[in-house]
Structures are given as structure tokens and as C-alpha cells.
């Protein structure tokens, strides 16, 4: 009995000790978890507050398309905005007023969204947000319908010790890489071989020529494809805000690049009826494909802007039109599916803000960008084309509006010599290289 009683007593002591240990552990571990969870919750709460403020800033900016008031309030619902970003946002209303005065176009409705997965970096009382803002403009001209544009931005914020509210202190464009920068270093694009055409795919080993088929370019299909794959998918959130994602056709992921403009234009031409030309060598000027045999990936004629420009003409599928600045180039009669190439940047100069305005934004003979005509509309008796592009996304933008924004006076609220926003004016001297796709062409 005594031994049993002692054993039971010992068991009771161990049980009590175990309960005490579990009690202490139960009191300690949740406390640590609560502290960690509290910090995480606080961090998440700050990110949400910051993104609400950033989203509200872009919404207020886009109201300039409607109100013409030309200002963003210093105090927004979730924070404040410094004078520089406010001046930058005001440029939207000035562009809108100029567009209406010159072409009669007016926006009657605008919706604004930001990317679903922004990068929010909080360091003490400073924060940096890398985010894409997307806008849909509904025009009063029903034939034109809607235009969509999006751009990546870097938004800088800070807050004082005494305030929990964040303040936007700087907004600037996130850099979009120049098209095919490595290929452009080879020098200015040579003239297309207008008199010495490339060999046809129907050439055979014995020198005879195979049978050619005449095809019609489907401009409606090309234009519809261009408008859709340069647009956005929009998701409305429970708080009434919108998240956006730029559309990309995953079929062409093998050819996708940081600057996707030429890959996109090639897709438009293919959708209109241009046949792929396969091979193994990406440098072969007869190949035109987004994924060649083997490890080569896309051909240069598919993914490099000036190589595509040459290919469109040398393949006998398109006609080169008169190039030059907006007032001289033959751009106003372009049709859906026609490519439009642009030179607007001096690659030979260092990226020095002091030279950007006067020297950098000047054509240097190298094609910097490619876009596709995707439609047209008529206003005040004048019919003009609309264009669509990738990098950054633009869908169904009136060509005159795009030109105005590219050539309008630069807005530089932070004083670094680089324009900070679209639409803010880039003060560029644009040189267009238009190409008209032939309505019919021969293929094997």
C-alpha cells in the first residue's frame, strides 16, 4: 500500500509539473506568435494603406480626362500628395483639353486600376512602390469606343514621426527597356533590299520554282487581335477598387521579351494571314518564326524591330511608305494590321539627365519601337488610324493622341531631366517608318 501510495503521489507530482509546464508554454508561445503576428499584421496594414493612397492618386490623376480642373488635392482620403506629383497629375487635364480643342475628341468615362501584385518596400518612414497603373477611356465618339493604356511606375512615399499618414513625394516612370538593345548596337538599320528580293521559299534545289498561292490579308482579324492582346483584364475588388493585368498571349511566350513590342506586331501580322517561315538559324533573314527548331528561340525577323521592318518589305508582302516626322510621314492612311515603326531615341549618348531633353530624345537612325494599326475612326470629317502595342500596353489609341503625348513639352517635377509620367509629354522628335501590308500576297 505504502509503495503504491508513494507511486501514485509521485505520479500526481509529475502530472502537476507537466500541467505547469504546459501552462507556461501555452502562455509563452502564443505571446511570441502574437508579437510576430502583430508585426506582420501591422506591416500588412501599412502596405494596404499605402496601396489605397497610390490607387487613389492614379484615380484622381485620371479624372483630369473628365474635369479639366488640372489639379489633384493635397489631402486624399488615405494620405497626402506633395506638390511635384500634383503638378505631374495635372498634365492629364491639359492633354485632354488640347486633344478636344484640336480633334474634337472627349472622354466621357474613365476607369482606373493598379496591378494585382505591386512591389511595396517599406523601410522605416520611407516606402517605395513599383506598380502598374492602367486606365480605360470611353470616348464620346462611339465609332472610336474605348482606349486602354497602362504604364509601370515607381512611387516614393514618406511619413513624419508625428503622423501615421503616408505622403506621396515622387512619382516617376519605371524604365521600359529599349527594343532589342543588344541588336541595335550594331548600327543604323540598313535600307531594305527593294531591288534584290530574298529568295522565295518555293525555290527548290534544282533551281525550279514551286507553285505559289495568292492569299488575302485579313485586316479585321489583325485589328481585333491587336486590340485585344494590347488590353487589360480587369478585376473589381470588394472595396470597389480595380486590379488590372496586361494581356499576353502565352502561345508566343518563347519569343516574349522585357520589351515585347516587336513580338506583338509579328503576332498581329501572323493573325492577319502571314505564314510562319521555320528554320534553325535566328539570323537567317528568310526565317520568320516565334520558336525556331532547336534552342534558337525566335528569329530576329520576328523579335527585332528593324529586322521585322526589313522583312515586311523584302518579303514582297508589304510596301514601304514615305518615312519622316509626323507632318511628313505617310501615316494617316494606314489600315488595320499595318506596322508602324518609330525612331525617337539617341542610343549613342550616355543616360545623362542633363542631355536628355535636348539630345537624347532625337532620332539617330535606329528603329526603337514597333506598333500596329488596329482600327480607325472619324471625327470632324477627318478619319485617322488608331494603334495598339506592347511595352507598354496601348490599345486602340488615336494616332494623333499618341503623337501629342510623345511630342508635348516634358513634365519633370523632380528636376532630374527625365519625364515622369504618361500622359505627361516626352518632348520627343519622332521619326516614323510606316509600312502598308499588301491586301494580297503570294505564299507557297
- pLDDT digit string (tens) for 40-83? 555 678 999 999 999 999 999 999 999 876 678 899 988 999 98
**Tell me, what's the pLDDT at 364?**
79
Q: How far is CA 23 from CA 18, 19, 31, 138, 406, in A?
A: 8, 6, 12, 63, 69
> Does position 24 have pLDDT exceeding 70, yes or no?
no
Cβ atoms of 380 and 103 closer than 8 Å: yes
Confidence check: pLDDT of 378 > 90: yes
Say whether 176 sits in a helix, a strand or coil: coil
Instruction: Provide the grid cell at 247.
Output: 494581356
Asked whether 160 and 143 are in contact (CB, 8 A), the reply is no
Query: Which CATH number fits the domain 1-174, given the four candidates 3.90.660, 3.10.450, 2.60.120, 1.10.3470?
Result: 3.10.450
Query: Most confidently modeled of 198-212, 324-338, 394-408, 426-440?
Result: 324-338
Which range has the worst mean pLDDT, 29-38, 90-99, 404-413, 430-439?
Answer: 29-38
Is the per-residue pLDDT at 417 higher than 80? no
Instruction: Give the pLDDT of residue 161.
Output: 80
Beta strands in 159-293 (DSSP E): 166-173, 213-216, 232-236, 242-246
For residue 35, pLDDT over 60 is answered with no
Residue 110's pLDDT is what?
96
pLDDT digits (tens, 9 = 90+) for 380-410: 999 999 999 999 999 999 999 999 888 877 6
Task: Specify the pLDDT at position 123.
Answer: 95
Averaged pLDDT score across all residues of the chain: 81
Q: How far apart are CA 88 and CA 405, in angstroms?
A: 13
Q: Who contacts 114 (Cβ-Cβ below 8 Å, separation ≥6)?
A: 51, 54, 55, 58, 131, 132, 133, 134, 241, 242, 243, 244
**CB 143, CB 226: distance < 8 Å:** no
Structural domain boundaries of the chain?
A: 1-174, 176-444
Does 256 have pLDDT greater than 50?
A: yes
Of 95 and 141, the one with more pLDDT: 141
Residues in the chain, overall count: 444
Q: What is the pTM of this model?
A: 0.82
Q: How confident is residue 202, by pLDDT bands cut at 50, 70 and 90?
A: very low
Average pLDDT over residues 153-161: 92
In angstroms, the first-to-last Cα distance of the chain is: 105
Q: Which three cell numbers stand for residue 278?
A: 521555320
Amino acid at each position: 500500500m505504502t509503495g503504491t501510495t508513494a507511486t501514485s503521489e509521485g505520479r500526481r507530482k509529475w502530472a502537476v509539473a507537466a500541467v505547469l509546464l504546459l501552462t507556461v508554454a501555452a502562455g509563452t508561445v502564443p505571446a511570441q506568435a502574437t508579437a510576430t503576428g502583430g508585426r506582420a499584421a501591422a506591416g500588412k496594414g501599412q502596405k494596404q494603406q499605402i496601396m489605397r493612397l497610390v490607387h487613389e492618386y492614379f484615380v484622381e490623376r485620371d479624372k483630369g480626362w473628365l474635369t479639366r480642373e488640372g489639379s489633384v488635392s493635397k489631402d486624399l482620403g488615405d494620405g497626402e500628395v506633395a506638390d511635384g506629383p500634383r503638378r505631374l497629375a495635372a498634365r492629364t487635364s491639359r492633354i485632354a483639353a488640347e486633344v478636344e480643342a484640336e480633334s474634337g475628341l472627349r472622354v466621357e468615362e474613365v476607369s482606373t486600376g493598379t496591378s494585382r501584385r505591386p512591389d511595396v518596400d517599406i523601410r522605416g518612414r520611407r516606402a517605395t512602390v513599383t506598380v502598374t497603373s492602367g486606365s480605360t477611356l470611353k470616348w464620346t465618339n462611339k465609332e472610336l469606343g474605348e482606349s486602354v493604356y497602362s504604364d509601370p511606375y515607381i512611387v516614393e512615399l514618406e511619413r513624419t514621426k508625428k503622423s501615421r499618414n503616408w505622403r506621396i513625394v515622387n512619382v516617376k516612370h519605371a524604365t521600359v527597356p529599349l527594343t532589342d538593345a543588344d541588336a541595335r548596337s550594331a548600327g543604323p538599320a540598313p535600307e531594305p533590299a527593294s531591288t534584290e528580293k530574298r529568295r522565295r521559299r518555293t525555290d527548290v534545289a534544282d533551281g525550279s520554282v514551286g507553285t505559289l498561292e495568292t492569299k488575302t490579308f485579313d485586316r479585321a482579324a489583325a485589328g481585333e487581335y491587336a486590340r485585344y492582346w494590347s488590353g487589360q483584364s480587369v478585376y473589381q475588388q470588394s472595396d470597389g477598387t480595380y486590379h488590372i493585368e496586361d494581356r499576353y498571349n502565352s502561345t508566343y511566350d518563347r519569343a516574349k521579351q522585357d520589351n515585347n513590342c516587336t513580338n506583338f506586331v509579328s503576332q498581329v501580322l501572323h493573325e492577319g494571314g502571314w505564314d510562319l517561315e521555320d528554320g534553325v538559324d535566328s539570323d537567317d533573314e528568310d526565317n520568320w518564326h516565334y520558336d525556331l527548331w532547336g534552342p534558337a528561340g525566335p528569329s530576329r525577323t520576328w523579335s527585332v524591330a528593324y529586322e521585322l521592318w526589313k522583312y515586311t518589305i523584302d518579303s514582297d508582302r508589304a510596301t514601304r511608305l514615305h518615312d519622316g516626322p509626323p507632318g511628313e510621314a505617310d501615316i494617316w492612311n494606314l489600315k488595320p494590321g499595318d506596322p508602324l515603326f518609330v525612331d525617337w531615341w539617341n542610343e549613342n549618348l550616355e543616360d545623362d539627365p542633363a542631355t536628355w531633353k535636348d539630345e537624347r530624345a532625337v532620332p539617330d537612325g535606329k528603329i526603337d519601337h514597333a506598333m500596329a494599326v488596329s482600327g480607325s475612326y472619324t471625327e470632324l470629317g477627318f478619319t485617322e488610324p488608331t494603334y495598339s502595342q506592347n511595352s507598354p500596353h496601348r490599345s486602340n489609341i488615336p494616332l494623333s493622341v499618341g503623337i501629342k503625348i510623345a511630342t508635348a513639352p516634358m513634365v519633370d517635377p523632380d528636376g532630374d531631366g527625365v519625364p515622369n509620367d504618361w500622359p505627361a509629354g516626352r518632348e520627343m522628335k519622332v521619326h516614323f517608318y510606316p509600312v502598308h501590308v499588301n491586301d494580297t500576297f503570294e505564299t507557297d
